[in-house]
Structure 1
Amino acid sequence: MKRSENGIHIGRRSVLTGIAGSMGVAALPTATAEALPAQTQSHPTSHYPQNWPEPEPYGLADARQDLWPQEDNSFTLPLELRPRDKELGRVWMRDAYVNCFVVDGRALYVATGTTRVPGLAVAGPWNDGIFVWTARSLHGPWQLADTTGIRPGAERGKVWSPEFVGENRPGRTVVAPWQEYWYDDQFGKRGEAWAPELHYFRGKWYLVACMGDHSQKVGSFLLVSDGGVAGPYRLAEGNLEKPFGDSFIGGPPFIKPGAYYHIDGSLFSEGADAWLVLHNNLYAKFRDDMEDIVPTTNLPAFQQKPYTPEPYLEGAYVFKHGRKYYLVQAAWDRTSIDAYGSPRYTYDEAGTGRTQYQYDAIVAVADRFEGPYSERWTAGVGAGHNNFFTDRDGDLWATFFRNPAAGYWADPSRTGDAAVAGVVRLEWTGPKGNRLYVRRRSQAALEK
């Protein structure tokens, strides 16, 4: 859920030219759409693809191949490698986030995500913080943010980490006590940062992220840059003692009572206002000074149409295109066998006979930020926990990362291609259909 500063339209061209055969992943955040006039985006008004018929009953997943990120509609970002990436040959990343903002009259692309430390197969029970890459084109070159002037001799591109606790000063906190590393007999070193998102709002850089399951407190927080995109970043005042919102019972059993808050925070802005969006369908307005959310007894919830039963959803993100608001969430498509012996794909709760298959992006549309939202549809197969954005030419994209935790991309034959920073082209079905999908092969053929 993002929007960029109001900006200029910088020429229009096909961003897919020359990328056939490369693999991809991407999502298009609202932040970019704000920077470009809506009338320049997507298809000419007379040629819109049709909405696809939805599987019935409501809650079935659409697993058709057209909705997969594939060689003709997506690619992996050529991010500059860090020393830790040399052996793998690319950046290992979950929760990939990409956006495009207009800064000083020029388009600036940013990328970040959840990464791991050398020696660990995943991003827990600890990682070493948040890295940022920038580029002037979606195709690169993508370079690590230049942090050398802030921390000479430190690893380039790392803009925040629990390691930076020594930078705390009176009146300026970089790492709060609840974000510091800690140790126990079960996991050893603990504390990781998850799902970062970088936003340029009212001429200032903000980074929303989450301390993950192995942290002292688990939940979302906001970092504010005192300089440019590389920082230096400090913690917002509202997070000095805890993450945003109130604690509740949740997460894995090893999380201590009272330590679990609302995770996967995102930011949506429109005009001079900004909102925090949370993974469990909640939102809160930021104060005008962006140092905390506006106090409320209970965080409001989006008005949406749940499945029956409603499964666990993650990564809520709001993107505005034209006059519509799109609520994007991640849901596991679980497969089972129906009464006729055929595979059945559904967004259902875990249960006997149901196997995790793909981590999908599901979307609903509304006329207002808070809803009510329409019934959800499958926008991208395996593209869950992403963001949507608009590039400098007004074209729509989404991110994806191929979740290696379970399902299709956890298969040993595929894990080497999982956890990538990918982007995939999106299509809009026009002002009547008002749907966003991964750009379908059938539509690409029609446009030739």
Structure 2
Amino acid sequence: MELPGLPPGLLEALVAHSGGRRLALVGGAVRDLLLHQVHNDPWRGLVDLDLVLEGSAPELAERLRVWAGPERLGFCHIHGAYGTAELELDGVLLDLASARQESYPAPGENPVVRFAALADDLARRDFTINAMALELAPAAGGVVALELLDPHGGQADLAARRLRLLHGSSLNDDPTRVLRAARYAARLGFELAPGSLEQLRRTLAAWPWAWRPGDPPELAPPALGTRLRMELDLLLEREDWREALGCLQAWGALPLVEEALQNDRHWRRRLRWAQRFALPLLPAWLAVVADLPALAARLQLPHHGQKLLHQFVQLRQWLAAVQGSSAGWSPSRWSEALEERGGSAEAVALALAAGLGPRRPLLRWWLRWRHLKAPVTATELIAEGLTPGPALGQALRARRAQRLDQERP
């Protein structure tokens, strides 16, 4: 088996500096190479290579750094405490990791890691199609042969375009794996195996995690908090989100995030509008949730996302409060009401994407009214005899209101 696109001698250099330890290529390159061979899927090329060593990956990286020299080495970052390293060698990105084994102290918590054998490293992975490896083995004539390791039946699942969880407690340990399943389903056209779908439903029914909806958000385990949000970010940024989110909803997996999302039938429309308004997709997807601040805190959204959702919640409450009294408001009245609240254009755009409030005035404000200024400047009003102070600001606002009310409501 050959891996196309590699610089000559790279595999030989890796083996020569491995110290006689077992070294294997793992991850997406293995999966994509086999997909290309089995299904004639397009070969995506080598973005990077993930390698696992039965031994110290940092030591291997250091030996490669010395051997390559500045002419062949782009960069080298070694993380001794984690047993990993990244380097660019002959233009190829290499992610090196020491083989490890994982155990979970409690469902959904971060795993406890210890160095182990290659077989243990493959057994800790999420799906059978990701639990294969190409071991770099010395062959006659000084070349390197790639020997396929498939201890969990990944080849059969690749042939069937099937996503099968590696063991019976996979989602109990790490529920974010179902989000990765949706990402692979969207990208590769795979289906979730019946047994894995049953595991998902059984796990959700049992809800084995210590945190439950309604508990303080800061107490959620990482797999229902930060790690869950990171997987959502990857799904929305890198995959066909229509397909991936559709899979999660069809599988009944969205209560992991929030029950309201499972029953939401308008998320496609909302996200399409969010794209048109250049809004971040994750806040737009979450906008249907009632207690957005708690969910944003649990997922630990970045500051910008939390601020946007906070403004959106305030706007949502205000629009509901004025729903019966805002009919017939003039452009200046709408502009004053929206702007005096300190709401951002993004929050109004999110309300539009979510289908809230009277669409016409919100859209006109977002597209045009907010950009209109008074037809005179403060300097011109001072030249007319007004003195700087509150009266000047009031006059500018009055002139702007007059201009706004010349617009179509």
**Higher helix content, 1 or 2:** 2
Answer with 1 or 2: which has the greater Rg. Answer: 2
Range into which the TM-score falls when normalised by the shorter chain = under 0.3
**Higher strand content, 1 or 2:** 1
TM-score normalised by L of structure 1:
0.23
